[in-house]
Amino acid sequence: MCPAINNSGTKRGYIVPIGGAEEKLNNPEILDRFVDLCGGPDARIGIIPTASELEDTGRNYEKLFRKIGVKHAKVLSFFSREDCQRGSDVDYIEKCDGVFMTGGNQLRLSTTLGGTKAAKLIRRRNAMGMHVAGTSAGAAFMPEHMIAGGSEGSTPRPDMVTMAPGLGLTNAFIIDQHFRERDRLGRLLTALAYNPFAVGIGLDEDTAAFIRPGDQLEVVGSGGITLIDPTELSYSSMDRARRGEPVSLIGVRLHILVSGGRFDIETRVAHAAE
Q: Which residues are catalytic?
A: 136, 178, 205
Q: 3-state class of 147 per DSSP?
A: strand
Query: What is the strand order of the sheet 199-203 is part of?
Result: 173-176, 199-203, 224-229, 253-258
* Contact present, 217 and 263 (Cβ < 8 Å): yes
The sign one gets for the Cα dihedral 123, 125, 131, 136 is negative
Angle 29-38/57-68 helices, nearest 10 degrees?
70
* Contact present, 98 and 70 (Cβ < 8 Å): no
Report the distance separating Cα 242 and Cα 192, nearest Å: 17
- Of 190, 162, 203, the closest CA to residue 252 belongs to 190
Per-residue DSSP letter, 143: B
* Contact present, 147 and 161 (Cβ < 8 Å): yes
Q: 3-state class of 44 per DSSP?
A: strand
Secondary structure of 182-237 as H, E, C letters: CCCHHHHHHHHHHCCCCEEEEECCCEEEEEECCCEEEEEECCEEEEEECCCCCEEC
